[in-house]
Amino acid sequence: MCKLSALVVAIIFITSCKNEEDNANLMNENFNPTKEITQEESIAISRFWTSDEAYRIKRFVERNGWNVKPSETGIYCYVFNKKPEAKLAKSGNIAIVEYKIRLLDADTTLCYASEKGKPQEILIEMDNVESGLHEALTYLREGESAYVVLPHYLAHGLAGDLDKIPPLSPVLYELNLIALK
């Protein structure tokens, strides 16, 4: 791993710690942010980040009063406009959706939204969109709306989208599955 990447990962790791004592222990005289990190250290940092992110997502879900559990991959899907008799989305369907993508920051900052009156078509499991979005769509029925929280590794990943979504950011989708083809 290059020295710059090691520095970025170390900074993220240090700033993610929950208290100053943890930071002080990490920033001892032996800490060298330009040192290349080992694969084991990289895995430990990744596990820490993923665990911390899961905690932050769970707190967000609880604060909003959503009585849902995460999927095996870590997605939270809160359906608020249920249509139990409607057709369930599945792989190979074309989903016609309206959406908003927000950050899980204090303001749930809006990053992107479909144009009003111009829904997007997504070929489930085939289109080039976030992998978590494909999974989330398969939890919905035609006509349903949901809030879906995707962890960073199912959204825009390590780098973000290099525009409005920062690196390692979980995102909140407001989805409206208008129709299935």
- Torsion sign over Cα 122, 125, 126, 128: positive
Both 174 and 129 in one domain: the answer is: yes
State which residues form the domain around 119.
Answer: 76-180
pLDDT at 18: 47
pLDDT higher than 70, residue 13: no
Domain presence at residue 57: yes
CATH number at residue 93: 3.10.50.40
Both 59 and 130 in one domain: the answer is: no
How far, in Å, CA of 161 to CA of 66, rounded? 27
Both 87 and 155 in one domain: the answer is: yes
Which element (helix H / strand E) includes 45?
helix 39-63
Q: Which of 15, 37, 63 is at the close of a domain?
A: 63
Contact 145/79 with Cβ under 8 angstroms?
A: yes
Per-residue pLDDT band for 34 (boundaries 50, 70, 90) equals confident
- Torsion sign over Cα 111, 151, 16, 63: positive
Domain presence at residue 13: yes
Predicted confidence (pLDDT) per residue in 108-123, tens digit: 999 999 998 999 999 9
Q: Which of 63, 97, 112 is at the close of a domain?
A: 63
Contact 104/62 with Cβ under 8 angstroms?
A: no
Both 148 and 86 in one domain: the answer is: yes
Domain presence at residue 71: no
* All residues at 6 or more sequence positions from 29 whose CB lies less than 8 Å from its CB, including other chains: none
Domain presence at residue 70: no
What's the half-sphere exposure (Cβ side, CA atoms, 13 Å) at 76?
26
Both 91 and 152 in one domain: the answer is: yes
Please tell me the total count of domains within the chain.
2
| 173 phi/psi in degrees, rounded to 5 | -100, 135
Domain presence at residue 68: no
Both 81 and 39 in one domain: the answer is: no
What is the pLDDT averaged over residues 83-112?
Answer: 95
How far, in Å, CA of 71 to CA of 69, rounded? 7
pLDDT higher than 50, residue 26: no
Strand, coil or helix: 110: strand
